[in-house]
Amino acid sequence: MLCERTALCEAVGAMVPVLQQQAAADDAAGDFPGDSFHRLRQLGLLRAPLPETLGGLGLGDGASGAAALLRLLALLGEASLPVARLYEAHVNALQLICRYGNESLIRRCAADAVAGALFALWVTDPPEGALTMHGEGDGYGLVGAKAFCSGAGTATRALVTAATLSGTQMLIISVDPGTRVLPSPIKLSGMRAATTGSMELTGIHVPADALLGETGDYLREPVFSAGAWRSAAAALGGLKALVALHRDEIRRRGRAQDPHQQARFGALLIAYETARLWMDQAALRGCLEDDSAAAIVAYVNLARLAVESACLDAMRLSQRSLGLGAFIAGHPAERICRDLATYLRQPAPDETLVKAASHYFHAPLPGPASATAA
């Protein structure tokens, strides 16, 4: 298993330059990264998050599974932040299905993933109101829409949340490609290739056996908040791409001997390495779940914000060093900064920080996983 995970990481690593080229074209067109996903599907990436018994590689299982998933998400982020975002949602959906699903739902979804289906995770409600479900025949009917749906029009399976009187219920739905995407005047400036749109879900019939878990499971901790480590891992990859690009560009311009450029590059390296070290620990804690829910969530919350902060610093430093060149449409730094700035807008950053701070007022200070567990 270890060898297969390593081989997969190496194959994805070798593909990074091709995916980077494709990312530029997909951004320009605002298209779903179909070619990239075709390549990744052929490598077995879509089934890799499943346990071995279901045809996967158990990404995220145990310490070595955590390391492999971290490496893969960071590689994908380095290649293309939209691809990483789409794949992260696929991993999230499959992990929730395997955790909360009954055997038949797990088997069906696993078979779909093995066959190459891309799962989405559509949980954000539009301002008009939450998606609801009501009894309909032997199952449920959906009423409403979902907002900010990445993979809208392409993902054929989705984990969605619906509001019920007893709480939030997860459901697995199937959608035909190209259907139910609502026309929307909202266009994100970055992450264009994640094809994030609104999905009209009214009229979808969900069989009773497509309900996932109990009401309230979606928001259950530590999984709900600690899952943020995966998005941060993807952002870390984007940060690495920016740092490498910065270095190459400054060298190409013959400015690597300038002390100001050196100082900014040094600060950039500190930001990157700080984020990378946080993520090593956050991935372990998020995957191993060998501490209290509160401790895991607090640590991952800090890690998420540390990566956000490193990325924001890196963009500021890079734009200062590269100058206007970094703002020319079509320059890779312009696209990466646009994607990164957009992707960093994850939910409730203020609450994330103060909740983590409150935790550590009454708990051992953050440190390596084994040190706090002891």
Ligand X SMILES: Cc1cc2nc3c(=O)[nH]c(=O)nc-3n(C[C@H](O)[C@H](O)[C@H](O)COP(=O)(O)OP(=O)(O)OC[C@H]3O[C@@H](n4cnc5c(N)ncnc54)[C@H](O)[C@@H]3O)c2cc1C
Residues lying near ligand X in the complex (CB under 6 A) are found at 85, 89, 120-124, 148-150, 191, 194, 196, 342-343, 345-350
If one counts every other C-beta atom within 10 angstroms of the C-beta of residue 372, the result is 17
**Alpha-carbon radius of gyration of the chain:** 21
Q: Compute the least distance from the CB of residue 255 to ligand X, in Å.
A: 33
Q: Compute the least distance from the CB of residue 152 to ligand X, in Å.
A: 8
Per the CB < 8 A criterion, the answer to whether 68 and 57 are in contact is yes
| SS3 (DSSP) at 158 | strand
Nearest to 327 by CA among 343, 310, 313, 315: 315
User: Cβ neighbours of residue 229 under 8 Å, at least 6 residues apart?
Assistant: 279, 282, 283, 285, 286, 300, 303, 304
d(CA 29, CA 16): 20
Q: Which is nearer to ligand X, 89 or 369 (CB)?
A: 89
Q: Which is nearer to ligand X, 125 or 249 (CB)?
A: 125
Q: Is the peptide bond before 347 cis (omega within 30 degrees of 0)?
A: no
Q: Tell me 366's DSSP state.
A: P
Q: What are phi and psi of 322, to 5 degrees?
A: -85, -20
Q: Compute the least distance from the CB of residue 87 to ligand X, in Å.
A: 12
Q: Which is nearer to ligand X, 192 or 240 (CB)?
A: 192
Q: Compute the least distance from the CB of residue 350 to ligand X, in Å.
A: 3
Q: Which is nearer to ligand X, 32 or 122 (CB)?
A: 122
Q: Compute the least distance from the CB of residue 23 to ligand X, in Å.
A: 14
Q: Which is nearer to ligand X, 238 or 366 (CB)?
A: 238
If one counts every other C-beta atom within 10 angstroms of the C-beta of residue 370, the result is 9
Task: Give rounded-to-5 percent helix, strand, coil for the chain.
Answer: 60, 10, 30
N-to-C CA span, the chain:
29
Q: Which is nearer to ligand X, 40 or 340 (CB)?
A: 340
d(CA 115, CA 55): 10
Strands of the sheet with 181-182, listed across from one edge: 145-149, 197-200, 181-182
Nearest to 340 by CA among 244, 187, 238, 201: 238
Q: Which is nearer to ligand X, 46 or 322 (CB)?
A: 46
Q: Compute the least distance from the CB of residue 213 to ligand X, in Å.
A: 17
Q: Compute the least distance from the CB of residue 302 to ligand X, in Å.
A: 15
Q: Compute the least distance from the CB of residue 347 to ligand X, in Å.
A: 4
Q: Which is nearer to ligand X, 57 or 191 (CB)?
A: 191
Q: Compute the least distance from the CB of residue 73 to ligand X, in Å.
A: 15
Q: Which is nearer to ligand X, 47 or 90 (CB)?
A: 90
Per the CB < 8 A criterion, the answer to whether 317 and 264 are in contact is yes
